Amino acid sequence: MKREFAVIGLGRFGGSICRELSEEGMEVLAIDLEEDKVNEFKNIASHAVIADATDEKVLKELGVRNIDHVIVAIGDNIQASILTTLMLTELGVQKITVKAQNDYHEKILNKIGADQVVHPERDMGKRIAHSIISNNILDHLELSDDHSIVEVKAGKKMSGKTLVDLDIRAHFGCNVVAIKQENNKEINVSPMATEMINLGDILIVIGADKDISRFEKQLVVDD
């Protein structure tokens, strides 16, 4: 059975979520106040409607309470974002994800019932900053306020050494959870301590942000 989603706010973030979910074959209800944005998604989403999501009566008429997951992607109008989240909580929506503008906005959203709060601009900024530091840092994903998972390419400092030689856990407090060898498409999950690392291999590393930062500076960024 297909999961049903609703995306409220069809700006860049909401529009992107709507497209991706639709391409994955999900049932998506797209909602926005602006007619031109709704028209843009009429042939993409399962349903696209012009509606005021801060109006509880409108949300009830649209059957939003029966939708599995609602994403509130309202742009700069923090008041509308908060009111919509509050209405969805009171309607008993199963899961609510909301885009936050700042930390203060996030605190309020958490207090009124949002299940997940995302900061797309802030999080993307972190990922880009890490990739700018070194070509060997391929990706950076925040798991919590102080823990992340990174994808790094083995450079000269790691090449020709085993995990025992590098002893990343003891020196940096990070864990290498997987290795993808440059000449092999398969991913080696939970690699052995004797695993040899070659130039260009990709390591998936998890740990506290401060530990990952030390690891990147000492072993990932080539001098």
pLDDT in tens, 180-200: 887 777 788 889 999 999 999
Q: Measure the CA–CA gap between 107 and 117, rounded to whole angstroms.
A: 9
3.40.50.720, 3.10.28.10, 1.10.150.120, 3.40.1410.10: CATH of 4-118? 3.40.50.720
141-180 pLDDT, tens per residue? 878 778 889 999 999 999 999 999 999 999 999 999 999 8
pTM higher than 0.75 = no
Q: 90 vs 31, 59, 97, 195, CA distance in Å?
A: 19, 11, 15, 53
Give the pLDDT of residue 131: 67
Q: Are 75 and 109 in contact (CB under 8 A)?
A: no
Can you name the CATH fold of 123-220?
A: Alpha-Beta Plaits (3.30.70)
Q: Which two tokens stand for residue 137?
A: 């840092």
Q: Which two tokens stand for residue 48?
A: 């696209």
Give the pLDDT of residue 145: 73
Give the pLDDT of residue 130: 66
Residues of the chain with CATH 3.30.70.1450: 123-220
Q: 36 vs 9, 28, 40, 221, CA distance in Å?
A: 12, 18, 6, 46
Give the pLDDT of residue 1: 60
Which residues in the chain land under pLDDT 70?
1, 127-128, 130-133, 223
Dihedral-angle region of residue 63 (phi above 0 means left; psi in -120 to 50 means alpha; beta otherwise): left
Give the pLDDT of residue 129: 73
Query: Could you say which DSSP state residue 41 is in?
Result: T
Residues of the chain with CATH 3.40.50.720: 4-118
